[in-house]
Amino acid sequence: MSNGAVHPEPHGHVYGHYAAPKWPDAHCSGKEQYDAMYKESLAAPEKFWGRIAEKFYWKKKWEAPFHSYNFDSRKAPVNVQWFIGAETNLAYNCLDRNVEAGQGDRVAFYWEGNDLGEDSTTTYSQLLAQVCQIANYLKSAGVGRGDDVTIYMPMIPELPAAMLACARIGAVHSVVFAGFSAESLSGRILDSKPRVVLTCSAVKRGAKPISLKGIVDDALVKVTAGGHEVDTVLVYDHTRAATRADVAFTPGRDVWWQDAVSEQPTTCEVEWMGAEDPLFKLYTSGSTGKPKGVEHTLGGYMVGTATTFKYVFDHHLSDVYWCTADCGWITGHSYVAYGPLLNAATQVLFEGVPTHPDAGRAWDIVDKYKVSLLYTAPTAIRSLQSFGPEWVKKYSRASLRILGSVGEPINPEAWLWYHDVVGGGRCPIVDTWWQTETGAHMITPLPGATTLVPGSATLPFFGVEPAVLSEKGEELQGECEGYLVIKRAWPSGMRTLSGDHARFEATYFNLYPGYYFTGDGCRRDKDGYYWLIGRVDDVINVSGHRIGTAEVEGALTQHDRCAEAAVVPMEHPIKGQGIYAFVTLMQGTEYPPPPALKKELVATVREVIGPIATPDVIHWAPGLPKTRSGKIMRRILRKIASKEEDSLGDTSTLADPSVIQTLLALRGK
């Protein structure tokens, strides 16, 4: 679908332009409309966001001033407020509002279980009733406005339902990904001190059964030792093969969900909350250090997630949307639980992994539910790519309309595979750059409006004003590279770090007062497109040239045999910093492969970027250290590259710790 025009990419490499399809009914159709809306969103935020916010239900409207913020910590504490004085409720807007508008029989969730043949359907009316029952139970257990609730559950409909139940009664949810250890769970419980924890008896991820309740029990022993008591553990019976009798129960504390919740009334009064009351806490993925407890509030988050969902996925009621993220991550909060439901979307909720029982599962699900909007991560794309295109081509995928990517820069090779093989060249790709902290998409194409270039997240979303700073903090103009910052508040941004406003200011505002500091390095090209090139700490300075980790990784993956690459800086006596590359080869390769392959990989990088980016070391990596959400932990790789593996730092969010030993054994091979 490339229209032949070429785009001079950073470092002279050239990819095609992919013009936006002509979709007359797109919510934003064409660059002119984008430009006009973007301009208005900055020039008249009150008018722009006010008009959008009118579509939601507010128990009480906002007052003047509509919003206020201070990003300059030298003047006053950093503070952001939107829809000042307004009152609303997220669960009401996600459910009651849609049911009242006649969408009650519409499917909210097509649930697809881990194992083939397990599925169910939940309509908006059913979800509303379910949420009310959980909310009533929570109230009976003493949970009220402002109280914390920890949710540690797999991807079953009860997970988003539990989040909405909290929102309905004004409780603050903290969802902990159900793959985390007892240690990580206990740390998060001790941080937010809930009296009630919601969990599930057991779960299967792929072929592996996991006793979630057992992990909760272990975590609560640590919580008690840490000086906090949880009064109630509500346990969803999802044992499958096992029976309830096999699940250890602490009388007086543990309660079976199916017994306690099903007897509750299916209606529950809504607690009207202030727009700036907290909605949830969520910990970042920890790829750069200890996870941060990010806090979001109601009003701006509602408007921000709903609006980005509508425009970035060009959502129409005829669409079926599937986001593969777990609700334990921000993507699962903003683009499973809230954004889609606020738009009355029909979505697929998938409990399993896309390679179980085989590498065709994802495409089987796409065909089964006629998925039109698919949202996943580069790590998943690269993993599916490494199994070969046959797995994809076995399935029709004719329903697909738009493909999304999130979590990391997507290397052009994976982008092209996603576009050409998965989407058959028909579907625009929305490469969405954002963070747990930003709550919603920040830099992203709009499918009916933006010309795409593989590897670029393209342009800012409405209301987002990015800037690029030099190391000294000067704002750079035009074509440039440096630190990505945001110049003004946008509705869905975080408001503080859980219980630690000083750390919030220190992390995001003190270095460059007046700006929100993202921690990411980027380039801006002559068309104003943004290219995320890696974490600030990872951008490599080779003899005075700044080279992004994402660029070198993108070049390596252009080699046919390279499935995935992770690049980190290393000390270099002459160049200052050198390039150290960890390389994963296609499925089925034996390690170490013949030595000639290293030369070929180096040659590929030299050809794609230039001799300046020549990798100094190639280190074979059958697996890479990744967070549970699939992000590469480059900080751990930096330690391995500099032989400091004795001090790896916080590894609690590592998905598979055994990859480290394998990596160490392959050093120098």
Residue from the set 114, 199, 285, 324 that interacts with ligand ATP by CB under 6 A: 285
Residue from the set 520, 551, 553, 564 that interacts with ligand ATP by CB under 6 A: 520
538 part of the interface to ligand ATP, by CB under 6 A: no
Residue from the set 532, 556, 636, 660 that interacts with ligand ATP by CB under 6 A: 532
Instruction: Work out how close the CB of 574 gets to ligand ATP at its nearest, in angstroms, rounded to a whole number.
Output: 30
Instruction: Work out how close the CB of 335 gets to ligand ATP at its nearest, in angstroms, rounded to a whole number.
Output: 12
For residue 631, the partner it binds in Mg ion, ligand ATP, none, with Cβ less than 5 to 8 A by kind, is: ligand ATP
Alpha-carbon distance values, 567 to 253, 274, 640 (Å): 48, 45, 12
431 part of the interface to ligand ATP, by CB under 6 A: yes
Q: What is the largest CA-CA distance in the chain?
A: 72
CB 514 within 8 A of CB 542: no
Residue from the set 67, 213, 631, 639 that interacts with ligand ATP by CB under 6 A: 631
Residue from the set 432, 498, 549, 557 that interacts with ligand ATP by CB under 6 A: 432
Of 517, 298, 322, the C-alpha closest to 402 is: 322
* Sign of the dihedral defined by the CA atoms of residues 416, 421, 424, 429, in that order: negative
Q: Tokens for 150, please give them.
A: 């920890």
DSSP, residue by residue, 572-600: ETTTEEEEEEEEEEPTT--SSPPTHHHHH
Euclidean distance between CA atoms 412 and 562, whole angstroms? 13
Instruction: Work out how close the CB of 292 gets to ligand ATP at its nearest, in angstroms, rounded to a whole number.
Output: 6
Q: Is 482 helix (H, G, I), strand (E, B) or coil?
A: strand
Active site residues: 537
284 part of the interface to ligand ATP, by CB under 6 A: yes
Residue position matching structure tokens 């969902």: 309
For residue 291, the partner it binds in ligand ATP, Mg ion, none, with Cβ less than 5 to 8 A by kind, is: ligand ATP
When the beta carbons of 294 and 618 are compared against ligand ATP, the nearer one is 294
Residues of span 311-330 touching ligand ATP by CB under 6 A: 330
For residue 397, the partner it binds in ligand ATP, Mg ion, none, with Cβ less than 5 to 8 A by kind, is: none
Residues of span 387-426 touching ligand ATP by CB under 6 A: 405-409
Residue from the set 179, 194, 291, 448 that interacts with ligand ATP by CB under 6 A: 291
When the beta carbons of 144 and 289 are compared against Mg ion, the nearer one is 289
Instruction: Work out how close the CB of 437 gets to Mg ion at its nearest, in angstroms, rounded to a whole number.
Output: 7
CB 163 within 8 A of CB 327: yes
Instruction: Work out how close the CB of 60 gets to ligand ATP at its nearest, in angstroms, rounded to a whole number.
Output: 32
Instruction: Work out how close the CB of 450 gets to ligand ATP at its nearest, in angstroms, rounded to a whole number.
Output: 14
Residues near 599 by beta carbon (within 8 Å), at least 6 away in sequence: none
232 part of the interface to ligand ATP, by CB under 6 A: no
How many Cα neighbours within 13 Å face the side chain of 565?
A: 32
CB 523 within 8 A of CB 550: no
Residues that bind Mg ion (CB under 5 A): 284
Helices 549-556 and 596-608 sit at what angle, rounded to 10 degrees? 120
Euclidean distance between CA atoms 337 and 436, whole angstroms? 14
Residue 128, by phi and psi: left (phi above 0), alpha (psi -120 to 50) or beta? alpha
Instruction: Work out how close the CB of 501 gets to Mg ion at its nearest, in angstroms, rounded to a whole number.
Output: 18
CB 97 within 8 A of CB 56: yes
Instruction: Work out how close the CB of 625 gets to ligand ATP at its nearest, in angstroms, rounded to a whole number.
Output: 13
28 part of the interface to ligand ATP, by CB under 6 A: no
Output phi, psi for 468, to 5 deg.
-115, 125
Residue from the set 292, 315, 397, 639 that interacts with ligand ATP by CB under 6 A: 292
Helices 45-53 and 299-312 sit at what angle, rounded to 10 degrees? 80
CB count in 10 Å sphere of residue 521: 24
When the beta carbons of 270 and 484 are compared against ligand ATP, the nearer one is 484
When the beta carbons of 254 and 431 are compared against ligand ATP, the nearer one is 431
Q: Is 619 helix (H, G, I), strand (E, B) or coil?
A: strand
When the beta carbons of 239 and 405 are compared against ligand ATP, the nearer one is 405
For residue 297, the partner it binds in Mg ion, ligand ATP, none, with Cβ less than 5 to 8 A by kind, is: none
Q: Quick one: how far is CA 597 from the chain centroid? A: 34
When the beta carbons of 134 and 452 are compared against ligand ATP, the nearer one is 452
CB 153 within 8 A of CB 178: yes
Alpha-carbon distance values, 634 to 294, 331, 387, 566, 649 (Å): 22, 21, 24, 7, 12
For residue 264, the partner it binds in Mg ion, ligand ATP, none, with Cβ less than 5 to 8 A by kind, is: none
Output phi, psi for 9, to 5 deg.
-80, 160
When the beta carbons of 292 and 310 are compared against ligand ATP, the nearer one is 292
Residues of span 454-473 touching ligand ATP by CB under 6 A: 457
Compose the 480-519 pattern: x for residues touching ligand ATP by CB under 6 A, - for all others: --------------------------------------xx
For residue 333, the partner it binds in Mg ion, ligand ATP, none, with Cβ less than 5 to 8 A by kind, is: none
CB 208 within 8 A of CB 183: no
Residues that bind ligand ATP (CB under 6 A): 284-289, 291-292, 330, 405-409, 431-433, 435-436, 457, 518-520, 532, 535, 631
